[in-house]
Chains A and B, each alone.
Chain A
């Protein structure tokens, strides 16, 4: 299946801003996070087709996934 993955802020560095990537059907979001070497503890908001998602949610063909880092400094 094809999934559009959008990365934000520091997650873009050394990776990409937006890519259409191939994954097996029903791949959970967490597998993509791991594949991209994004530390799980750094993951902030996840948007799946512009709706809030959690790490265990499985993906389907044509999904758009946005991954933002946790930002907490002041």
Chain B
């Protein structure tokens, strides 16, 4: 360990470890790049990729993010952006859950979809994409629908869940499992020009209130579809919430929902 620390200190430039040196150190000391990232952060150094995080996220917090495990349920419109942003943020372990493969009608908005990947499992695309962005992040793909029966197994040892599901009954199952397992949940939903985001801590019935009038079927997204920009907005708000929940910082959208109307550029806060 002393040799490794000395090696890292020698390679550091203004406290930053360039990616090539992280890789070289991992090889030299027979660690994975993930293990090396932990060592770097524990030594008070910063992988160079995070240097623009530095002013808002300290090295200790960067380590906290890297040691966090987040499940993203749904890898479509919202999920694609959420996965991308969590990996770039430096969340160390990500569980990506989705049963589907990419289809042509996903191309208008789903970040991970490309012509080449039509027919490919969304979870496989997530693994590939995140490995290209940040190989230190461990991605666990789960190609299955989230449900009451299998949900608990999927969310094992997770610190936070991000709801990027495309239907209301699964969202209600998800929040119920999170309640049972004491896991905070960041909810996001979209339809056309509109979106909503709220953070639910264990013991709160925010989402049940939100969908109290639901009696079956889809929301207004069935009529309105979804364009390219609404998932990006809602997903980014969700990741900002996720970052704050993981670090215990700022004021989250707890018991208050942010309702987003991009057609009239109206942002409303609704008490829940």
Is there a chain B Cβ closer than 8 Å to A9's Cβ? yes
Distance (Å) between the CB of A24 and the closest chain B CB? 24
Closest B residue to A17 by beta carbon equals: B264
A8 with B259, Cβ < 8 A, contacts A44-B210, A71-B221, A74-B74 known: yes
Q: Which residues 42-72 of A have a CB within 8 angstroms of B?
A: 42-47, 50-52, 54-55, 66, 68-72
Q: Are A71 and B219 within 8 A (Cβ)?
A: yes
Q: Which residues 225-272 of B have a CB within 8 angstroms of A?
A: 226, 231, 257, 259, 261, 264, 268, 270-272
Closest B residue to A72 by beta carbon equals: B219
Is there a chain A Cβ closer than 8 Å to B211's Cβ? yes
Is there a chain A Cβ closer than 8 Å to B166's Cβ? yes
Q: Are A44 and B211 within 8 A (Cβ)?
A: yes
Distance (Å) between the CB of A30 and the closest chain B CB? 11
Q: Are B264 and A12 within 8 A (Cβ)?
A: yes
| A interface SS class | mixed
Q: Are B168 and A70 within 8 A (Cβ)?
A: yes
Residues from chain B with Cβ under 8 Å of A47 in the complex:
270-271
Q: Are B268 and A74 within 8 A (Cβ)?
A: no
Closest A residue to B79 by beta carbon equals: A74
Q: Are A42 and B220 within 8 A (Cβ)?
A: yes
Is there a chain B Cβ closer than 8 Å to A10's Cβ? yes
Residues from chain A with Cβ under 8 Å of B218 in the complex:
72-73
Q: Are B213 and A46 within 8 A (Cβ)?
A: yes
Distance (Å) between the CB of B173 and the closest chain A CB? 13
Is there a chain A Cβ closer than 8 Å to B154's Cβ? no
Q: Are A72 and B213 within 8 A (Cβ)?
A: no
Distance (Å) between the CB of B140 and the closest chain A CB? 20
Distance (Å) between the CB of A49 and the closest chain B CB? 11
Residues from chain B with Cβ under 8 Å of A50 in the complex:
271
Is there a chain B Cβ closer than 8 Å to A14's Cβ? no
A sample of 26 cross-chain residue pairs with beta-carbon separation below 8 angstroms, ordered by A number, consists of A8-B268, A9-B194, A10-B193, A10-B220, A41-B215, A41-B216, A42-B219, A42-B220, A43-B213, A44-B214, A45-B272, A46-B213, A51-B271, A52-B212, A68-B270, A70-B168, A70-B220, A71-B190, A71-B195, A72-B167, A72-B221, A74-B165, A74-B166, A74-B167, A74-B190, A74-B231
Q: Which residues of B line the A interface, CB within 8 A? A: 74, 76-79, 163-168, 171, 188-196, 209-221, 223-224, 226, 231, 257, 259, 261, 264, 268, 270-272
Q: What would 10 more interface pairs be, CB under 8 Å, given A44-B210, A44-B219, A74-B231? A: A9-B259, A10-B191, A10-B193, A10-B223, A12-B264, A42-B219, A44-B213, A47-B271, A52-B212, A70-B219
